[in-house]
Amino acid sequence: MPGPVHTAIEEKLGRELSPQKLEVRNDSSLHAHHHAMVVQGGGNGETHFAVTAISDRFNGMLQIQRHRFVNRLLADEFEKMGLHALSLRLYTQEEADKMSK
């Protein structure tokens, strides 16, 4: 069952991106041994996520602009909810179509 950070990521990105595809994966358990996580007692279990999104909202944006946009959307999760890291794969529908050929 997804926790509050996972749920917030899905809801915010779903609302703001209207994605054709959105996958959010909690990778926190893979990073529990990292020093920063050990110091805080292993984190809250929702510190590291991988996100794949396909959205026309990304049309005309460079990858860095897409990453900054998503990071701004999730500022509260970083600042208040313990989110530590995101691995982002952000594509337009056209880019996703080219990759699947």
**Domains of the chain in sequence order:** 4-99 (3.30.300.90)
Q: Is residue 98 over pLDDT 80?
A: yes
Strands (DSSP E) contained in 1-101 are 21-26, 48-54, 85-91
* Rounded-to-integer distance, Cα 88 and Cα 63, Å: 10
**pTM for this entry:** 0.87
Give pLDDT tens digits for 52-73. 999 999 999 999 999 999 999 9
- Asked whether the beta carbons of 85 and 31 are under 8 A apart, the reply is yes
Give pLDDT tens digits for 20-33. 999 999 998 786 66
Q: What integer is the mean pLDDT of 80-94?
A: 94
